[in-house]
Structure 1
Amino acid sequence: MLQPGVILSGRYEIIEKIGSGGMSIVYKAKCNKLERFVAVKVLRDEFCTDEEFVRRFKVEAQSAASLSHHNIVNIYDVGNDKKIYYIVMELLEGITLKEYIKNNAPLSDTETIKIAASIASALEHAHDNHIIHRDIKPQNIIITKDGIAKVADFGIARVSTDTTIVVPSNASGSVHYISPEQARGGFSDEKSDLYSLGITMYEMATGTLPYQAESPVSVALQHIHEDLPKPSEKNDEIGKCLESIIIKATLKKAEFRYSSAAELMSDLKKANLTPEENFVNIRGVDDDAPTLFMSDHDMEKIWSEEEKQKEKRRETTDKPKSMIEKVVVFMGIISAIVFVSIVSFLLYNGLKDKIAPPKKISVPALQGYDIKEAEEILEEHMLGKFIKEERYDDQYALNEIIEQEPQKDTLVDKNEVVSLVVSKGPPMCTVPDVTNFKFTTAQDRIRKENLKSKIITEDHDIVETGNVIRQSPIGNTKLRKNELVTIYVSNGKKEIEVRVPKIEGLTLSKAESNLNSRNLEIGATTYTHHDTIPKGIIISQNVKEDEMVKEDYEIDVVISLGRKITYIETLSVPDLLATGQTEGHVKLVLVNKGEENVVFKKLVKYEDFPLSVMVTGEGEAVLKAYLDDVFQYEETFIFTKEVGE
């Protein structure tokens, strides 16, 4: 956890903690460059060591930073400082939609529709930019003091918490709002976000969640298997129209839900105008939908309904008819047969010579024609067609005929079918996604897909120099062979030169503040004694005042330790000689500040004692005495007298 006063990247000064979640902690901070308050979301330490998690965190946060919408929390910056990964966001005054629901639920239809429309508008903008939120829930919606709903946490990978699960390993999303396809771990797209919005609308309109259980997995299974409880069962004042919108948005099969956020917004607007009109089209089984696996219960219902219909038909068929009815029906049938026979005979005999087609037809040349033109030619020649194959071809354009069978000028019967091979155009190539790759790697990947590349360089504050910022067209787009992919490569942060201020004579903290205000940094610091400059004051700087340097340049400084003071003491050493001994080798060792130095070593006679020895040092010291290299005693003392006193 960061402490108040910590400055990230020399720019964002942490003020206080304002929130936390499973993967991050949010702080209020001040941007010293732009002089404004911001919210800084910092990735928790336990996730910073996971390289893959950090990589996705950076990539997805940068993608989210590209969004600009009045219902989306703005992301200003993404970066890291000494393994602290963070996102800088718009600081909003307000509460989460979850808190708002707790305080005001159930919300009125008008208020539910207003908030839902704002969220849908944000999702429409995100989906248009190919970003799927994957975790829409009231906790990620901010209601500002002005009553504006803003969506947060776009596209940022989530991790397991008590409310966010992974079922199985590739499913993501908060369990109470997760779509069935996410809960299964299957493919999730824009419609998964709309499902989560539908559950959020349910909670706004009723004050409760539709699925609740003791464990997250049980809740996820309810999303997959159990029908949505009708909102009107929880709130009988909800309008029919709003209820239908919620039901359509939360259908189990994604293909039956709203096709887009724009379509959902359209129904929300209608519901606001005509709340009791039931215009919402909730689809049944779609013939064009992907193959669906029906449950035993579904099959039993279908069989039961079919048996009912068969029974009705049998009753109708078996109903006795009167004799008169039978006679009328019989005579009608005989009359119709006679009439049709007479007309057919007359027409045939009168027109057979004029309309009779030739016995054999010459097959026209179709190779190189467009398929529509070929169809017209075949129809004129009274021949049919059959698409035998569609394949890519470098010589024939899209929808042109490559081959035909039978060949041209072959004689065939009327209505003979001609088999055609139709061109799908030149072979299609898949554009690789090269965003955030080194430009050389990006060029190689594009070349391997038989495409050409063009480089445009741009300054960028976040993307590393030489890496791809974005590309056009985006990854997974289909192009013809040798078509062009433009990659925009980062020049790095735009180099701005600033004037170096004078920091000599300042304390280190004031110098740092002055430098940071100009986007400069303190570099290496060296400490030394100085006879006149007080301790803690900067003596010199390696770049002189008023010189121009690039932003983020580091200025090295030398800081004063103050005047160096030398202390001296005179010590008296008593007689160390044994009785009857007239002389001996005396060694004195001074221990000061962890260092040992021999300060006296010579042959001393009896009459030289007591010895007077002068030593210098600082603070507490120990003098050890040795006679003929045998330890005699030690004395502890403190230096108190300055040299020169």
Structure 2
Amino acid sequence: MDTTVADPLVGKVLDGRYRIESRVARGGMSTVYVARDLRLDRIVAIKVMHAGLASDEDFVARFIGEAKAAAALSHPNVVAVYDQRTDGEHVFLVMEYVAGRTLRDALTSIGRFGPRAALETMQPVLAALGAAHRAGLVHRDVKPENVLITEDGQVKVADFGLARAETASKMTKTGMIIGTVGYLAPEQVLSGNADVRSDVYAAGIMLFELLTGHLPHQGDTPLAVAYKHVNETVPPPSSVVPGIPRRVDDLVTDATSHDPSRRPQDANQFHAEVSEVFGGLPRDFDRRLEESSRGGTGLPHPPAQGHTAVLDPRTMPAEYVPPTRTDRAIGALTGRYVLVAIGAIAALILGWAVWYQTSGQYEHVPSSIIGMKVADARDQLESGGLEVRTAKAVYDDRVHKGGVAKSDPPAGARVAKGQTVTLTPSRGITPREVPDVEGKSLADARKTLEDKGFTVGRTSTSPSQTVAKDRVIGTDPEPGEKQSPDDPVAVVVSSGMSMPDLVGQNGDAAANQLRSMGLNVNVQKKQVAGKEPNTVISQTPSEGTGVSRGDEVTLVVNKRDCIVDAGPFQFGCDDGGDERIPVPDMTNRTVGEARKALKESGFKVNVTGFGGDRVRFQSPSSGEAPRGSTVTIVRGP
């Protein structure tokens, strides 16, 4: 770990959320820190692009592409990317913090791996690459530095910064090859083009390195190493470490073929081949190989700090016996002894085969079950002769609800037939707060929810006197409540205000009620015999119709009969100078709307205040007041 303490970012809070606690490592293009997510109170890793590269638009786009590429993958062997942010000159990624060390650290410490240990390590690496290949992504930089090993032994592939969609995997700039030269496939050196088979090549190189302790092609300059990738084949690992089985050699030489069509066609196929060879090696293969090497059988000892597992060739089936030794043994026999020797060898092979097919036969917990529906995973495991139990579901940020979050034994582990595998289902992604989308259009609300990882479920409509038509009234769960993003959020949309039933009511009161709702009221007078004067005869639109602020509505009000016939005398009707009429409440309306509505209701208007265009106070604000009296409104911001 990089213990430098003079880093200016240490102690700062990025984007108001991520407090940088220490620096982990510094590379040529970015620096990795340990940070605390203050909002979720968890430790994360932060990869910050070097400030000098922030002006390079192509590099920034590739850097951000890492977040999109890795975030698209949901796999337990891929380091999760949580977020991508920019804070001033700092462009950074927020990632899962993996406590442990790199595969490079482990290889440096051990020297080299035994065949079983190497194949066991490669399986989760290939499972992670296989997930990327299924998603159409090419990693482009497979190497031990990008493989992390957690404290409990879990393997995770990191650094998808060079990942690209397969159809776009070419040189980023003319003449610029991206990747690490020791692991570059010939086609990457020659043209810069890469597809999933280029990742297979790099994985084959990494397997060679695990088995032997060094890369197959070495040179004084990167150009010299690249030349060897194009012009020299990768030798079998057994040419460096005698005793490595031929089938392990074949894995390396097939994966590193110069012709991409002769390699496994993606990491999933390579994973299956590695798993098959791993399953064919006895469990104590590495230990016995090491003992054989140290026991003076003629095989070289491992490096000073090395650790490998060497099997005595005399105890192996004929497939693993060095041909020269077998030839010498048979050549020393004559006549009937040759037949006896051949029979003994045949019996040995037959006995080994029977042992392997019975007590020696094992199954592997397939990596593919992670993320699979529990029922499908159960069927697959039971068809392989394993027992299955289901544990209590847990939240998991990488596996969606109903999928397998983890297994015990873990994915990739070797288990005997009849053994029980416990599957832990995912309850979904860890719950987070539902954002507030009230008052937004449905489209804007959907985008806000999706930006936070949620999906919109059931939508319904409901009338509202306060929320405009086609705007969101609320959600279920309500804003601020926590819910897993795997569970949809229900949204209620306003169908507008509902037109009340005003027929038969006092015309002035009815008009004021509508004005208080923000509607433009058109009052028409019509004299109809047999109807109470100044009452609403009809309305448009009708009762229950959805309306929104600013809509125009019409009330037809019965006229008063202003001529009273009393024989030879006729009297004009009393206009009701002392008539009291309802006062509409204009609070929170604009001053212009309030002035217009109050005047139409029969009042004078006095406006006071200190700026602003909203009515913050009104006197009188309700009840009744004499027609023609003054209503005072106080404006404010």
TM norm structure 2: 0.42
TM norm structure 1: 0.42
- Largest Rg, 1 or 2: 1
